[in-house]
Amino acid sequence: MSNNNVNEVTMMNLLLLLSLLTLSVTCHGFQNSPQRRWPPLSSSSSSTLHSSTTTDDNITTKDVLSLSSIRSTLIRQEETIIFALIERAQFRRNEVVYQKGGVPGLGWPVGAVRSENEEEDEELSFLDFMLIGTVSYICGCCKTDSMLMIYVYINKLYFTQEVLHSAVRRYESIEEHAFFPSKLPKRTNSLSTLDYPDLLSQDADTNGLNWNPILYNKYLNLIVPAIAAKGDDEQYGSTVLADINVLQALSKRIHYGKFVAESKYRSDPDGFQKLVDAGDADGVMKLLTNEKVEEQVLTRARLKATTYGREPLLAAMPKVHSNAGDSATAIIASAAAMAVVAACEAVQNTAEETLKGKVDPGMIEAIYKQLIIPMTKDVEVAYLFMRCGREPPEEYSCDRMSLDVVELEPRKIS
């Protein structure tokens, strides 16, 4: 690729960043406008803190989950996902975490139930140990193959997390999906049921579509090997917690496809009904696909990954004590300078950086391009079929991708 092209891409990214900057300036203006919806945080001065509440102080679940809030959440989720991936990439693959006796000398966790045949208790994986402290341990599904071990043991961790979280209504939210819904007990406490806004269909099976099985599979088999360096660094507990953060962030992201699908359905119910009646999944997929928007998502993911994965140019930061106008200008200038460096870096392919605990921005883009976007669209197609009263075609079931991905390939910009 010629230098010209590199410059063009860099310019494109720069323009995008500048428009983001402009946007934040606009938002700032909005916050200061008299018609703002929320009172600023600083308004709770000590005199008003304990005085009577106004109707503005309390809002409901329905207010929080509007369609416009969902759009902004979708963009904010990119940060959550990218930071979670960067966190996981700090650690090596650490396969020993999943091996029985891989970390010897842990002893038996305090308070844990011992199995009837105590000999079975002698050796634990590190992850077992973390888990046993919180749930009574049921063995019986340990396999020697390390990938299967990962599955089985994270499964138990989810069990713990998800039982607890389900007791406080997590999976009653239209935004949340459990990885092991069949293992969750019915909630018996007396917390009230929250009233969610009418953003999905009225049908529980349609709303309940759960794509975590295939997400889980692709995370273990493609994402972990792609972002974590081979080998071991002894940071086992942190590794597992980082895994959970990534999985939950990705799960939330791909299931937002349901909100998108519902809003598309409402804009053209007859169009979708016709396609579904004809069993035309490709036609539905085509109606859902907006290549321009997808390209924007990819560019943004790549740029954000480059920006967050690097040290800020502290030397270029202005001193804060200068007068307000000057310092605002200087901060914008230095942010722009940093953005240029990030943009230049984003168009270079730096796969070898992964070895230094940094995620290749091209790999994060690939995760979006090959997994997140396609899975979101699979969720959308399945949702739309169900919405129109028909089972989705087999290739849109939740344990597979309609177009299977067996390897992540960062896009070469060269």
Ligand X SMILES: *[C@@H]1O[C@H](CO)[C@@H](O)[C@H](O)[C@H]1NC(C)=O
Binding site for ligand X (CB under 6 A): 53, 55, 57-58
3-class DSSP assignment, residue 338: helix
- Residue 195 CA to residue 188 CA, distance in Å, equals 18
Nearer to ligand X, 58 or 193 (CB): 58
Find the shortest distance in angstroms from Cβ 53 to ligand X.
4
| Crossing angle between the packed helical segments 3-31 and 291-308, to the nearest 10 degrees | 90
- Residue 272 CA to residue 264 CA, distance in Å, equals 9
Provide the Cα torsion 300, 302, 305, 307; round to 10°.
-70
- Residue 210 CA to residue 241 CA, distance in Å, equals 22
Find the shortest distance in angstroms from Cβ 54 to ligand X.
7
Find the shortest distance in angstroms from Cβ 43 to ligand X.
16
CB 109 within 8 A of CB 248: no
Find the shortest distance in angstroms from Cβ 187 to ligand X.
21
CB 370 within 8 A of CB 203: no
Distances (CA, A) of 116 to 112, 138, 139, 276: 13, 11, 11, 54
Nearer to ligand X, 45 or 55 (CB): 55
Give the CB-side neighbour count of residue 298, counting CA atoms within 13 A: 21
Nearer to ligand X, 3 or 53 (CB): 53
Q: Which residue, among 218, 213, 151, has the nearest Cα to 177 in the 3D structure?
A: 213
Nearer to ligand X, 48 or 296 (CB): 48
Nearer to ligand X, 45 or 53 (CB): 53
Q: Provide the token pair at 42.
A: 């600083």
Nearest residue to ligand X on Cβ basis: 58
Q: Provide the token pair at 328.
A: 């605002």
DSSP state of 124: -
Nearer to ligand X, 59 or 403 (CB): 59
184: burial class by Cβ within 10 Å (0-12, 13-18, 19+)?
middle
Nearer to ligand X, 45 or 58 (CB): 58
CB 162 within 8 A of CB 156: no
Find the shortest distance in angstroms from Cβ 31 to ligand X.
23
Nearer to ligand X, 56 or 404 (CB): 56
Q: How far apart are the first and last CA of the chain?
A: 5
Find the shortest distance in angstroms from Cβ 52 to ligand X.
8
Nearer to ligand X, 60 or 289 (CB): 60
Amino acid identity, position 306: T
Find the shortest distance in angstroms from Cβ 35 to ligand X.
21
Find the shortest distance in angstroms from Cβ 336 to ligand X.
43
Beta strands in 29-153 (DSSP E): none
Find the shortest distance in angstroms from Cβ 46 to ligand X.
19
CB 379 within 8 A of CB 309: no
Find the shortest distance in angstroms from Cβ 36 to ligand X.
19
- Residue 279 CA to residue 396 CA, distance in Å, equals 12
Nearer to ligand X, 56 or 277 (CB): 56
Q: What is the CA radius of gyration of the chain?
A: 24
Q: Provide the token pair at 240.
A: 């597992």
Nearer to ligand X, 2 or 189 (CB): 189
Find the shortest distance in angstroms from Cβ 152 to ligand X.
43
